[in-house]
Structure 1
Amino acid sequence: MILIADSGSTKTEWRTIAPGGQIGQARTIGFNPFYQDSETIAAELQKSLLPTIDGVVSSIHYYGSGCAGPESCGVVEKALRTIFPEAETVQVGSDLLGAARALCHHEEGIACILGTGSNACLYDGQDIVQTSGSLGFWLGDEGSGGYLGKTLVTRYLHNELPEELREKFQRRYKAVDRLTVLDHAYKQPFPNRYFASFSKFLFDNRAHPVAYQMVYEAFELFIDKYIRKFDRRAELPIHFVGSVAFYYSDILRRVVSDRGLTVQRILETPIAGLTLYHN
């Protein structure tokens, strides 16, 4: 049995492919080796994933946030081998490689992530050949849910929102104040998840010119920081995956078009594409 995982900072989607071709699925919390060690990940897999697996896992293909090098990939691989010692093959790659394979399959293209975080790469049909070098939540992630939420909350705390948006925000998030935000930003785990949770407010109010402009400008910044660094951007297909890209697809397509580029495929999650790639 093949086990495939797409793990973001918020959740992990799992698929199994049985020898007869039957597809199984499961969902657990997200994992990130920058924030969690092997023992923590293994404990969660033991509790949430293993009971859903019916059969012997022979190979694992895991793509996840934070899996950016041998050390971080090794943290996840150790956890997977602890839970699935019978697996002969355990491959751990970045969420960006997973996105590229899900979006482009075996063709060249530019693959972009716009979810809780953001990133982009140039893909040759098998591997990543160039990246834009995402700097993570605090120093980058432009255009992502985390970035949108951080921008919104910052403007709210600085009293820079129009009165009607500010009142809506206060009614919806009664417990949000300066000290609460600073605590989540600097003391609580996963600040990216916390700030990304506010991005839905912009989605629900995107008909308001200020909310729309905040999203538009965030996507403009994403294109400038990521896509414009690829020399062949005008000749290769550009694809997106992630909840932000999917739900804000109308604004995203408008921004990309205004920059003289063309979007082809937009997926909410990579897991279906990865299942096809590995099947």
Structure 2
Amino acid sequence: MSILIADSGATKTEWCLKSADEQKIIKTEGLNPYYHTTESIERVLDQGLSKQLEDKADISDIYFYGAGCDSEEKKEVVNTALNASFPDATIHLFHDLLGAARACFFDKPGIACILGTGSNSCLYDGTKIVEHIPSLAFILGDEGSAGYFGKQLINKYYRFELPDELKKDLEENYDMSLEHINEGLYDGSQKSRFIASYASFLGKHDDHPFVKKMLHEGFENFITRIVMKYTDALKYEVRFIGSVAHGHQEMINGILNEHGMKAGQYISKPMKRLVEYHSIEVH
């Protein structure tokens, strides 16, 4: 028998089929129930996942950690689709934040953070999430995320605040027409993913003083307005999941140290740790 583990964010889902002697990684699009219906999730499972599995009936358990799985109503959207596609498996459905906490700390307490397309965080006691300050999504919050920085970049472009050399390079490599921006904002089904795609520009120019200031302010906001608000925050180690955090470790460590917080591990992709966690659980 084998188990199937899923780490599903706003942009993509990484699946790991794990048996006693081997494991296989499969990638599909993100399956956030705020953007997907049960029917559209079933289509992704059928077209993107099932065809790459040799024997679905051999899967005993599915551990699905998903962005957007933050209420029973939204969990049911995903759960119904998984049960329809894998009727012989036992489904274990969790919010991706618990997956981040387990990947970061296993059974130890700490503050777990996600900085990827979106941002999130929690205080974890080694078993469960005991405090959670809402991220408020990319429109109202998501400080420190790709979506947050993409929004800042586009805003500064249209407010004529970008230095000329950055403005020129941005126009040469991205579609900055107002028509394109408005189409992505008003007509797109995955607005956060669209906005976040612009943040890669900042990663390519993170040695520029203007960009450094933008990044520092975003990470500072995430740490001071969210992470430091957890009860007894200074006594816990802070660990991070996600490509944005992984790519800016030195800056984030500096901000944490400035505020007397304990900088911990940075994990670009949590799947390896989740596989280890569930291998321990199974055995």
* Alignment TM class, shorter chain as reference: over 0.9
Match of 2:83 in 1: 81
- Which moves more between the two structures, 255-264 or 211-220? 255-264
- TM-score, normalization: structure 2? 0.95
Q: 1:126 corresponds to which letter in structure 2?
A: T
Question: How do 1:103-142 residues align onto structure 2 when only pairs under 5 Å count?
Answer: 103-142=104-143
Q: Distance in 1 between matches of 2:80 and 2:116?
A: 26
**Tell me, which stretches of 5 or more residues in structure 2 are unaligned?**
none
Query: What secondary structure sits across from 1:60 in the alignment?
Result: strand
Q: Distance in 2 between matches of 1:53 and 1:128?
A: 33
Runs of 4+ in structure 1 off by over 3 angstroms are: none
Shift of 1:179: 2.7
Q: Does residue 70 of the first structure (1) align with residue 72 of the second (2)?
A: yes
Q: 1:189 corresponds to which letter in structure 2?
A: S
Match of 2:272 in 1: 272
Shift of 1:146: 0.4
CA contact (8 A) 1:63 1:95 kept: yes
Match of 2:240 in 1: 240
Match of 1:154 in 2: 155
Question: How do 1:15-54 residues align onto structure 2 when only pairs under 5 Å count?
Answer: 15-18=16-19, 20-54=20-54
CA contact (8 A) 1:241 1:266 kept: yes
Q: Distance in 1 between matches of 2:21 and 2:140?
A: 43
Shift of 1:270: 1.2
Shift of 1:224: 2.1
Match of 2:60 in 1: 58
Q: 2:181 corresponds to which letter in structure 1?
A: V
**Tell me, which stretches of 5 or more residues in structure 1 are unaligned?**
none
CA contact (8 A) 1:119 1:141 kept: yes
CA contact (8 A) 2:237 2:261 kept: no
CA contact (8 A) 2:235 2:262 kept: no
Identity %: 39
Match of 2:253 in 1: 253
Q: Distance in 1 between matches of 2:88 and 2:173?
A: 49
CA contact (8 A) 1:156 1:166 kept: yes
Q: Distance in 2 between matches of 1:69 and 1:225?
A: 24
CA contact (8 A) 1:132 1:225 kept: no
Query: What secondary structure sits across from 2:214 in the alignment?
Result: helix
Shift of 1:181: 1.1
Match of 2:9 in 1: 8
Query: What secondary structure sits across from 2:171 in the alignment?
Result: helix
1:135-186, Cα deviation, whole Å (9 max, x unpaired): 111111111000001100110111111111111111111x312232122112
- TM-score, normalization: structure 1? 0.96
Q: How many residues align?
A: 276
Tell me how large the CA RMSD over aligned residues is: 1.1
Query: What secondary structure sits across from 1:160 in the alignment?
Result: coil
Q: Distance in 2 between matches of 1:188 and 1:231?
A: 38
1:221-248, Cα deviation, whole Å (9 max, x unpaired): 1012220111221111110000100111
CA contact (8 A) 1:114 1:240 kept: yes
Query: What secondary structure sits across from 1:15 in the alignment?
Result: strand
Q: 1:178 corresponds to which letter in structure 2?
A: L
Shift of 1:130: 0.7
Query: What secondary structure sits across from 1:147 in the alignment?
Result: helix
Query: What secondary structure sits across from 1:234 in the alignment?
Result: helix
